[in-house]
Structure 1
């Protein structure tokens, strides 16, 4: 740690790079910030300290002031946010999600390519042990990577080879001030129980056990990357439009089957991935193997996996999306996983394309779920037809009807049922129109 050039050398940081660093004000992040300060003299990097006030302890405002004051003293840019309100989610998961969203905003503001966090070897041990106990994915069992490549930046954790004690000794030697979060000692939090009761046992067996955990993490990540590369080649063959095709899926090797499900869930849950574990994968696998032609299971965040013959659809629960109404702008992602997009031209003329003239309509247009009593004046037809009857005649599965989009104008006139039926407002390819919408 003393040789900061050697510490940061593996990460190929270039002269003049901007680095965003997450700083709580505790001993770990203050140690990292001071190391970067030394490194700044060598590489002329720009450091941005990003601090999140979680607003759950009386001392949090003073901690923010402490970090800000230290940054001002050392000419470090300081960015902060305060979390005003939490939802009903798991506190730790939600706080982490908000924190990383904020870090990403700061990264984009300063056009940085690197986010550094002060995770150390003890943090990695705790995470791996918690996930082994709780159940997770192959990637999850590996904890977190030393270097994680995101869409347009990297997350670097340069302190994984060191322990909490190492960092506290560094702070003491270099007289680095820091604050203590007393909630870290309360055993009501799961991580704190692991920290207090399990880590001392492992360290008594081997003081450098954190390096074994780091090696374990890297091996799992390497295997995970290998499997991931194969999964992406297979995924589009068995899953698209939020639908898993069971027959094609069952042709895969068992290890690829479970990984396909993991990958699908990762794409759906994204920042809420902590809500998912191997139990949910097993539930979906049991649903696939079930002899029932029509069945469903609930997943976290009001998501449902719905089996219909040889397909599994993973969608928001009807309870959550019923009654949805969205203003139809240039592009809309629908609750059923499909999309509506305004285009300038289209060669096809099926029910997946609507050609409309704004002069005939009360704008703006909206897309919504069906409502009781909805009727549509058919294209080249007299009178109106009930939307309910149209769904029945087109054999739309009951599970799909509540999510199926209905396009209406501002007066509530049904203009189009995408993919199924056009209204009297639709124009032929030869007629003038100034609105073309494609459903896919």
Structure 2
């Protein structure tokens, strides 16, 4: 067992090791192995506030680290909903914070072969991508940190035997017996059935994990080559990819945004990209959405649409609700904004600035055109349409769409210079 731990951590022998210790047999066996191998350690413990014994375990680990003169980092987690998922993200966040605090990039956890098999079965049941189906990576590098799991090839029974043989004190987590969580039900009912089968090849689980991980690594390399340095999918090129690469492109973009997904969502997004109209959106969460804009698709933060209507004073400095300013003059002496010659009729004042509406019309020498059709012809993305500022007279005739259209009808008999700036849609 020591040899395996040393093999996984060999490249990091001169670094501080952040080790997550729960108080259970697996993490305390790992902690003792790392001690015997003379690694410089920082012990991190999480109290999930699920058991009365949690305080006892924390006190024991604090006392142990004080005796050994090892730094002890203790976090009490307060989780209201989606316990297992939120707990995972919080533990990872705090482990990274501790690693930064101690100027290291190595984080070690005590996942073992039983955890690997549980995770594989869980992913199969819920659906995932290729890496998810592989279960747990023995070692990987992400967000600037090395995540290492040196006990992954050992069954839990072997860890228990090692603890007894070396008189390592550990605590039993009674919450693992609860059937409240799907993972626990796999652990308590499905795994015991598999263990009863003498021919069940536990060793082949590692081979399965390695095969899928290698295949995924090759696939992910292809995905990154396709995207290059861009955060956007070129839809025409995407449609030519094999389906398995399309799926991984979607997974990669979702992972980069730290968004949860399953096979149904991946399939929906592929259909969205390949089949939706030229301007469309797909909600991913409360904060993020997938956007399709003509030839490209990408993830962005959701943008609140600000709709407004505001009268304009020709003699004042007008500031609109979206942060754009507008002012008027017979002739501006300096140019610190965009200036246009606006045609209007003096008997149709006041002028009004607003956002677009259904049925808006633009006027040309040959007649009129719906603003919606103008946008389609000019391939203006939806987000920019919603930001556009339209100026009309008091009869509703559109005089200008800032940056896109100017009404030059002969019936507009007066002219004034309009200057605008600020957060203008381009």
**1:244 aligned residue (217, 233, 240):** 233
Aligned length: 358
1:208 to 1:168, Cα distance in 2 relative to 1, 3 A: farther
Residue of structure 1 equivalent to 2:16: 18
Shift of 1:192: 0.5
Q: Work out whether residues 142 and 216 of structure 1, in 8 Å CA contact, stay in contact via their aligned partners in 2.
A: yes
- Matched ranges for 1:201-350 at <5 A: 201-206=193-198, 209-236=201-228, 240=230, 243-269=232-258, 272=259, 275-290=260-275, 292-318=277-303, 321=304
**8 Å contact from structure 1 (residues 52, 99) kept in 2:** yes
Contact 1:29–1:118 (CA<8 Å) still a contact in 2?
A: yes
| Alpha-carbon separation, structure 2, partners of 1:438 and 1:372 | 9
Partner residue in 2 for 1:97: 89
**Corresponding position: 1:197 with 2:189:** yes
**8 A Cα contact 1:374 1:386, kept in partner:** no
The answer for the alignment partner of 1:47 in structure 2 is: 41
Distance 1:265 1:20 in 2: 28
* Cα pair distance change 1:103/1:322, threshold 3 Å: farther
CA contact (8 A) 2:107 2:147 kept: yes
Q: Structure 1 stretch 388-397 or stretch 189-198: which is displaced more?
A: 388-397
Q: Distance in 2 between matches of 1:11 and 1:74?
A: 21
1:48–1:79 Cα contact (<8 Å) kept: yes
Aligned residue for 2:353? 386
Asked if 1:376 corresponds to 2:333, the answer is no
Could you say what secondary structure the match of 1:154 adopts? strand
Contact 2:194 2:200 in 1 (8 A): no
| Residue 166 (structure 2) aligns with | 174
Structure 2 counterparts to residues 80-91 of structure 1, below 5 A: 80-86=74-80, 88=81, 90-91=82-83
Shift of 1:400: 4.5
**What are the Cα deviations for residues 164-187 of structure 1, in whole angstroms up to 9, with x where unaligned?**
111112112222112222111001
Please say which of residues 182-191 and 144-153 is displaced more in the overlay.
144-153
1:398-438 per-position Cα deviation (integer Å, ceiling 9, x unaligned): 44555789xxxxxxxxxxx99989x95869xxxxxxxxx99
Q: Distance in 2 between matches of 1:404 and 1:117?
A: 52
**CA distance, structure 2, for counterparts of residue 8 and residue 170 of structure 1:** 17
Which whole-Å deviations, capped at 9, do the CAs of 1:29-48 have from their partners, x for residues lacking one? 111111111111xxxx3111
Does the aligned pair in 1 maintain the 2:294–2:381 contact within 8 Å?
A: no
Tell me, in whole angstroms, the C-alpha distance in 2 between the residues paired with 1:49 and 1:186: 27
Evaluate the alpha carbon distance shift between residue 382 and residue 439 of structure 1 in structure 2; reply closer, same or farther with a 3 A threshold. Answer: closer
Question: What CA distance in whole angstroms lies between the structure 2 residues aligned with 1:425 and 1:307?
Answer: 30
Is the CA contact 1:53–1:64 (under 8 Å) kept in the aligned structure 2?
yes
Could you tell me which residue of structure 2 aligns to residue 115 of structure 1?
107
SS at match of 2:104: coil
- SS in structure 1 opposite 2:257? helix
Matched position secondary structure for 1:67: helix
8 Å CA contact 1:25, 1:179 repeated in 2: yes
Q: In the aligned structure 2, how far is the partner of 1:204 from the partner of 1:267?
A: 41
Structure 1, residues 83-140: CA drift from partner, whole Å, max 9, x if none? 2454x5x221111111011111111111123211000000000001110111100111
Q: Does 1:35 align with 2:42?
A: no
**Alpha-carbon separation, structure 1, partners of 2:388 and 2:128:** 34
1:71 to 65, 73, 81: 65
Do the aligned partners of 1:296 and 1:304 also contact (CA within 8 Å) in 2? yes
Of 203-212 and 282-291, more deviation after overlay is shown by 203-212
Instruction: Sort the Cα spacing of 1:85 and 1:200 in 2 relative to 1 into closer, same or farther, 3 A.
Output: closer
Which protein is bigger by CA-based radius of gyration?
2
Query: Aligned-pair RMSD on alpha carbons?
Result: 3.7
Q: Cα offset for 1:313?
A: 4.0
Return the alpha-carbon distance in structure 2 between the equivalents of residues 402 and 208 of structure 1: 60
Residues 167, 291 of structure 1: CA spacing in aligned structure 2 closer, same or farther, 3 A cutoff? closer
| Cα distance between partner residues in 2 of 1:93 and 1:54 | 13
How high is the TM-score relative to the length of structure 2?
A: 0.73
CA gap 1:5/1:247 in 2 versus in 1, 3 angstroms? closer
Instruction: Name the structure 1 match of 2:150.
Output: 158
| d(CA) in 2 for partners of 1:376, 1:388 | 14
Q: Deviations over 1:55-103 (max 9, x none)?
A: 33333222211211122222222111112454x5x22111111101111
The one of 98, 101, 106 equivalent to 2:98 is 106
